[in-house]
Amino acid sequence: MTEKFRFREPELAKKIARKIANIAPADELIKFCHVCGTHEWSITHYGLRSLLPKNIEVIAGPGCPVCIVPASEIDEAVQIAQKGAVITSFGDVLRVPGSEKSLLEAKSEGADVRIVYGLSDAIQLAKNEPNKEFVFFAVGFETTAPTTAIEILKNPPANFSFLVSHRLIPPAMELLLGLGDLQIDGFIAPGHVSVIIGLKPYELFPRVYRMPTVIAGFEPNDVLMGIYMLLKQHKENEAKLENEYSRMVKWQGNLKALDVMNKAFNIVSSNWRGIGRLPNSALKLKDVFENYNANKKYDIKVEQGRDILLGCECHLVIIGKIKPNECPMFMKTCTPQNPVGACMVSSEGTCRVWAISSELSFL
């Protein structure tokens, strides 16, 4: 096996797992938190939790950008679609529940809602059909936000506008530290968000909160190494910012991406589904791009929505307070085929990932 393919090599995984077991404390419960749906997918899909000692727990924080879009913003998209504009977005977004209905339900009632692979495809649709109005529902964390920024700066067609719902990860991580009863011992920081923002935005976690923080990649051995590095810091009573994913993540991030984001957006406070209002946690189009702001163009602003249905515990799953199988509805009334909460809708939602990849012992 050549060196390049070692990111998934089982022998290496076993070796890292042995190292983890060697330095793990005997009885103290250690809890590490990641904030990325792709990390949850890797951990669950590859069964990494089964390689860890019983007292080392890895929990999932708010890492699914589709899950944390508040119902009020889904409602805005539905209302815009009902006014006759074509809503374009990523596939997962369509099934996320709004207060009354999802975009998919609006589509079944006749609204024109289309799935795209990315924003450039949506713009191409608008160019192909100049007599229709198109809106891109821009959901996603820092990884996705620059793609929206590039297109806004390039003067998209006049029949195109944006419903911007981008959110920022570091404020959500800070929120988790404020929840006294969560008691996290370290952060596994998200690799692809970090490709864009670099290391600097995480510096406050070790410095201010004395929280070990390791940026990790997504291959199984990346995640295991990240856990090992956190555990090592814990054992040596250190709190440092380390970068396991150095092959992709540079200290300064992607400067071009940060530059276009700065030009297109202001940072504002905003609501997250199931979490509430977080300061400086969202992006909003700058006033000079008002012509492309779908809220203004269609005069639609929904202040309040119904985020969580009665009985759904998505709000506790999102912050890592409970595991999906601790929700009474999980795999009973709430399934991938018939999801109740946003965490079961998106392919990166913790409940959905557990439903399709976990061992079936909960059934």
Q: How far is the CB of 215 from other proteins (least distance, A)?
A: 12
Tokens of 159: 């029949």
Q: Between 173 and 193, whose beta carbon lies closer to other proteins?
A: 193
The reply on whether position 47 binds other proteins by CB under 8 A is no
Q: How far is the CB of 232 from other proteins (least distance, A)?
A: 7
Q: How far is the CB of 247 from other proteins (least distance, A)?
A: 4
CA nearest 186: which of 229, 221, 148?
229
Q: Between 28 and 236, whose beta carbon lies closer to other proteins?
A: 236
Return the residues of window 12-31 that contact other proteins according to CB under 8 A. 12, 15-16, 19, 22-23
The reply on whether position 37 binds other proteins by CB under 8 A is yes
Residue 217, φ and ψ in degrees, nearest 5: -80, -170
Cα–Cα–Cα angle for 44, 348, 74, rounded to 5 degrees: 155
Q: Tell me which stretch binds other proteins (CB under 8 A): 32-40, 48-56, 78-86, 353-361.
A: 32-40
Residue type present at position 220? P
H helices within 60-168, ranges in order? 71-82, 103-108, 119-128, 145-153
Q: How far is the CB of 101 from other proteins (least distance, A)?
A: 22
Q: Tell me which stretch binds other proteins (CB under 8 A): 9-17, 206-214, 286-294, 350-358.
A: 9-17
Number of residues that bind other proteins (CB under 8 A): 54
The reply on whether position 89 binds other proteins by CB under 8 A is no
Binding mask 112-131 for other proteins (x = CB under 8 A): -----xxxxx----------
Return the residues of window 231-260 that contact other proteins according to CB under 8 A. 232, 235-236, 244-248, 254, 256-257, 260
What strands lie across the sheet with 86-89, from one edge to the other?
A: 113-115, 86-89, 134-140, 160-166
Taking a C-beta distance cutoff of 8 angstroms, is the pair 293, 161 a contact?
A: yes
Give how far Cα 50 sits from Cα of 136, 230, 266, 345, Å: 41, 18, 43, 25
Q: Between 92 and 313, whose beta carbon lies closer to other proteins?
A: 92
3-state helix, strand, coil in the chain (%, to 5): 45, 20, 35
Residue from 79, 143, 165, 295 touching other proteins (CB under 8 A): that is 143
The reply on whether position 140 binds other proteins by CB under 8 A is yes
The reply on whether position 205 binds other proteins by CB under 8 A is no
| End-to-end CA separation in angstroms for the chain | 39
Residue 24 CA to residue 57 CA, distance in Å, equals 11
Residue 313 CA to residue 334 CA, distance in Å, equals 11
Residue 306 CA to residue 293 CA, distance in Å, equals 24
Residues of the shown chain interacting with other proteins in the complex, contacts defined by CB under 8 A: 3-4, 6-7, 12, 15-16, 19, 22-23, 36-38, 64-66, 90, 92, 117-121, 139-141, 143-144, 146-147, 150, 190, 192-193, 195-196, 221, 225, 228-229, 232, 235-236, 244-248, 254, 256-257, 260, 346, 348
